[in-house]
Amino acid sequence: MDDGVKKTVGALPLLSIKAGPRDEQWGERLKQEYAALIKYIQINKADDNDWFKIESNPTGTTWTGKCWYVYNHVKYEFDLRFDIPVTYPETAPEIELPELDGKTSKMYRGGKICTTIHFKPLWSRNVPKFGISHALALGLGPWMATEIPQMADAGVIQPKK
């Protein structure tokens, strides 16, 4: 993990409520999730590192949006989605970039990014402290930093016009 990621993650609020979508305390957990996401977005904007926009359905169980990565002065933008698992926060959300499905070996069917080796063990050691903002900062962000340049160099992806 590079120093910039460590600094950002260190500044993110840790969550305390251990509740998933079917639990009574889900509304309180969701408030913590939003607060951590707002903080993460503020940190990114202050560092001129704005790279995603997401929103949830009214129950906070389905999230959609856009994420982007700039490589060689070219912006690559993708649809982003994930559902909160019933066993959340014990189980991290599986982040999907559907339009990249099948374009890299570091992806599962349906466009779900591969986070099993590096991120999932870290997540499991930090339940319930980690949330959506941590999944983006420690899962999707590093995945994109590794995979997008490789796919761009190989001509597998093209920037949107």
Q: Which residue numbers are catalytic? A: 114
DSSP code at position 136: I
CA distances to 75, 144, 156 from 104, rounded to whole Å, are 19, 11, 9
Spatial strand order in the sheet of 62-71: 52-56, 62-71, 74-83
Question: For residue 79, which of 95, 66, 96, 68 has the smallest C-alpha distance?
Answer: 66
CA–CA dist 95, 52 (Å, integer) = 13
